[in-house]
Every structure is written in structure tokens, then in C-alpha cells.
Amino acid sequence: MMEERERMVEDLLARGYIKTEKVKRAMEKVPREKFIPSDQKMNAYLDQPLPIGEGQTISAPHMVAMMCEALDLEKGMKVLEVGTGCGYHAAVVAEIVGEEGKVYTIERIESLYKRAKEKLKDYKQVKVIHADGTEGWEEAAPYDRIYVTAAAPEVPEPLKKQLKVGGKLLAPVGRDRFYQDLILVEKLSEDNFKTKSLGGVAFVPLIGKYGWRF
């Protein structure tokens, strides 16, 4: 499916979602078909979300590219992902931060956690965690970058605390279950944050102590 992957990347470049060589290379390298259920493999390179079981989805490729670009990831960074899902997004981020970087990714649904852990086993810089992602992962904090792949009513407070000063956090936020804003947060000091909306998005709900309760 290499040709389909290359066509997808070229399309995302032409539409302006991919802007940098590092994101282009990562999305060229990671096989999306490896991470999705077998009955969806024929749709692997369509630019749309796909079901991965348990009422969850894998984000559309353009959203993965857009989020990676907005985070301005660099080699060697320590990154926290909330919402592993199938593991594809973590794999793309791992390619960008490289072997000298570290990606901690949290999944609350046990079956998805187990599947993603297996799919990501070749990425030694990725640690897959079964926990409530809205609480972050204090053990490895602080993080250079944090991103959330499900929507919460507001940015979970523990994630803001676990972000390094100078770091960036990206999350879909909104009290509407079906429509949110993609919010980029920059931590200027321990108590001072700058926020910017990158536009409207639609994500599955973020369930947990600091997200939706069901």
C-alpha cells in the first residue's frame, strides 16, 4: 500500500496540512493499515476517521498532520499523548522525535491498550500506559509537548501542570459533544498560559476524572 500512502501524503501537502519535511517523512514512513482493524484496511489511506472498536476512531490523516505541525515537534522531545486509540498517531510522533525522544501514551480502554501496545512494540521510545489520561502521567512529567486525541469540556488541569514552561499542549475542547475547538496552549510560566483556537473539529469524548464522566 506504499503507493496509496505516498498519494495521501502528496494530497496533504497540496492541501497545506503538511508543511514541514519532518512531518512529511513521518507520515510517509508509518503504515496506517498496520494500526486499523482488518475490515478497514481497504480504507487505510482515505482522509477520514475510521472505526477501531469500542466506539472509538482513528483520526483522519489530515488531523494527525495538522496536530503534529501545530505542536512543532523536535527530535529528542518528551511527549505525552492522551488517547492512544490504535497507536497510529503515537507512531507518527515517535518518528518525528526519534530514538532520542520519548512518547508516553495513555489509553483507558483495556482492549485498545493491549492492541496498541502490540502494534507499537517496535518503537522503543514509546511507552503505552493503561490509565485515566485526563490525570496525565505524573511519573514522567514535565513534558515538552502534550496532545489529546479526544474532546473534553475544558483542558484537564493536571495536563497543564505537567507541561514544561515553554511547552505546548494541544486539545479539542468544547461543551458540545459533537463539535469543539482545537485549542493550542503555550505555557509561559507556572501560572500563565496563552491559548489560541486553531478552528473547529469533531472528536470522540474524553472520558475520565477531568473530562466527561461517561
- Contact between residue 151 and residue 179 where contact means Cβ atoms under 8 Å apart: no
Of the residues 59, 111, 189, 197, which is catalytic?
A: 59
The x, y and z cell numbers of residue 100, run together, are 532520542
Q: Report the 10 Å Cβ neighbour count for 175.
A: 11
Give all strands of the β-sheet with 192-201 in edge-to-edge order: 126-130, 102-107, 78-82, 143-148, 163-176, 179-189, 192-201
What are the backbone angles phi and psi of residue 210, rounded to the nearest 5°? Answer: -110, 20
Q: Please confirm, yes or no, whether 38 is among the known catalytic residues.
A: no
- Decide: residue 150, CB within 10 A, 0-12 exposed, 13-18 middle, 19+ buried: buried
Element (H, E) at 80: strand 78-82
The C-alpha atoms of residue 79 and residue 142 are separated, in whole angstroms, by 9
**Beta strand pairing status for 179-189 and 192-201?**
antiparallel
Q: Which residues are catalytic?
A: 59
